[in-house]
Amino acid sequence: MARTKTKHNHEIRQLSPHESAANGGHTASMTSGGCKDESADEDEVSTNLIIAFGVFMFIFSLFIYLQTAYPSLPGGDSGELTVTAKEFGVAHPPGYPLFTMFAYLVIHILPLGSPAFRVNLLSSVFGALTNSLLGVCLLKSTGKLSVSLIMCAMLGFSRLFWLWHITGEVFSLNNCLCMATLLFMYKYIHKSDPSEKLRTAYSLALLCGLAITNQHTSSLLVLPTAALVGYDLSGYKEVFTFRNTLGLTLAGFLPGLAYLQLPLASYLKTARVSWGDQTTFSGFMFHVLREDYGTLKLVKTEETGDVILNSKYLISDLHKELTISVLILAGIGLACPLWTRRRFYWISFLALNVVSYLGFFCSFANIKDISGLYHGVIERFWMQPCIYVVLLAGEGLNALLNISRLSKNMVLPVAFLIVALRVHSNYELCNRSENHDVENFGRHMLSIMPSHAILLTSGDLSTNTFRYLTVGEGVRPDIDVLDMSFMGSPWFIPIVGKHMPRVTFPGIGLVR
């Protein structure tokens, strides 16, 4: 049913299917309603402009990221993720099969630079896509290029996002999938035709399934998305059928087939670097549920997360990364439904995700002293709520611009200036194009080792660096790198030890 309008061009909110069931009505329960403000509808923004802006933001972001990307190994988990992908092995829990398969294709198809650089490039592509999707979502929501430009710059060229978008890690892909899910959720909320809602719901189901196959924190977005879409569709008898319900369920679970990469890689045993034995159901679930670290925990300790302390760290980091101005604009965005219900459901959905992330993740993050190295470990997980905050800030900035009634000719040049200043302010800090520190460290240490050495390691930096160089780039292939933390695991000798025939493992009968 189309929205009705008064002679003053104000929209009249219709009853939802749940509210109008007694009257036999079937109207959209999650469509925008209330007083129409001065901002443009998404229908008033041409599709060509939206596509052009999305392409521009992708190309611009990718250009900046490639100019500053690590030329070789960044450190951290990147070395392990790269070499397991190259060898088609299993990465650390929960396995990250989607990222592994993307990285495998890039490493073996793209004839450019080292394997580490190729995976860094892959992350840059996903990072640029994140910025592009964010810009498209804001342009559809606010109808203003200036708002989209400013918010893309504040998020995509913040120190946190910039550095992780040029590093071969799983977080850039997670940002991209979460932003794609949010964009389709915005489209879903603003659809009024039940059949169009259903088609969008299928896209959402596939995106949610893909997100889970990469990063488990995405479940904090997936679960509210699935719940709200399911509840909304239940009000439309013409589309809420058993067939469609089954189809949406299958669409959500279909991407989960990517997890078959884990038992397949474990069965083939071709990877010289791999983690765990997933050929049994118990071994598979042990890995997927992260029991090595502790299910629903960030690290394996008896301590529990401190929600209040972690929330303080999160708010402090949001302030540092996004600036106080963005946080104030996000607060204004949250208040928008107080004077216009036009974006009530969209803003409420974003607010719900901020609160749920604060509540759930901060209770799982069981690192008490988040300082130094541990701060670097946990700050990566703040990127997902940063996306919600920036979307809210876009709504707040849009509201202020509507009140001010500044002309586009005045605002747009200021927006481009803000983009330039944002990039300039963080460029030197995030420029890693000449950073070979980790690679040089690894090459030097390997160069002084005796011929056919057995190198015992412990810790991510040394282990991942040496394994990447010896296996990923063929530096000193005569050296065997053994991670001491794994050598007592029952899966180590049959999965990894078989690739080291000259090494004798004492007590081998005890672990078979």
Higher pLDDT, 463 or 487: 463
Q: What pLDDT, on the 0 to 100 scale, is given for residue 259?
A: 97
Which residue's structure tokens are 């009853």?
Answer: 15
Print the SS3 string covering 51-103.
HHHHHHHHHHHHHHHHHHCCCCCCCCCHHHHHHHHHHCCCCCCCCCHHHHHHH
pLDDT at 133 over 50: yes
Q: Exposed (0-12), middle (13-18) or buried (19+): which is 257, by Cβ within 10 Å? A: exposed
Contacts of 401 (CB under 8 A, 6+ apart): 144, 146, 147, 411
d(CA 391, CA 381) in angstroms, rounded, equals 17
Compute the distance between CA of residue 459 and CA of residue 24 in angstroms, rounded to an integer.
64
Candidates 216, 124, 179; CA nearest to 390 is: 179
Beta strands 454-457; 480-483: pairing state: parallel
Alpha helices by DSSP H, listed for 405-507, are 408-430, 437-447, 460-467, 492-495
| CB-CB contact of 329 with 396 (8 Å) | yes
| Assigned token pair, 105 | 């294709």
Q: What is the pLDDT of residue 36?
A: 40
For the CA atoms of 60, 65, 66, 67, the dihedral, rounded to the nearest 10 degrees, stands at 90
**For residues 62 and 293, what is the distance between their CA atoms, to the nearest angstrom?**
34
Band of residue 24 on the pLDDT scale cut at 50, 70, 90: very low
Give, to the nearest 10 degrees, the angle between helix 344-364 and helix 219-233. 140
Rounded CA-CA distance 353/358 in Å is 8
Average pLDDT (459-477) is 93
Structure tokens belonging to residue 137 = 């979502």
At 306, which helix (H) or strand (E)? none
Predicted local distance difference test score (pLDDT) of residue 503: 83
Question: Is the pLDDT confidence value at 346 over 50?
Answer: yes
Give residue 460's identity as a one-letter amino acid code.
D
pLDDT reported for residue 376 = 77
pTM confidence score: 0.89
Rg of the Cα trace of the chain? Answer: 25
Q: Is 175 within 8 Å of 383 (Cβ atoms)?
A: yes
**Percentage of the chain modeled with pLDDT above 70:** 86
Give yes or no for residue 512 having a pLDDT over 70.
no
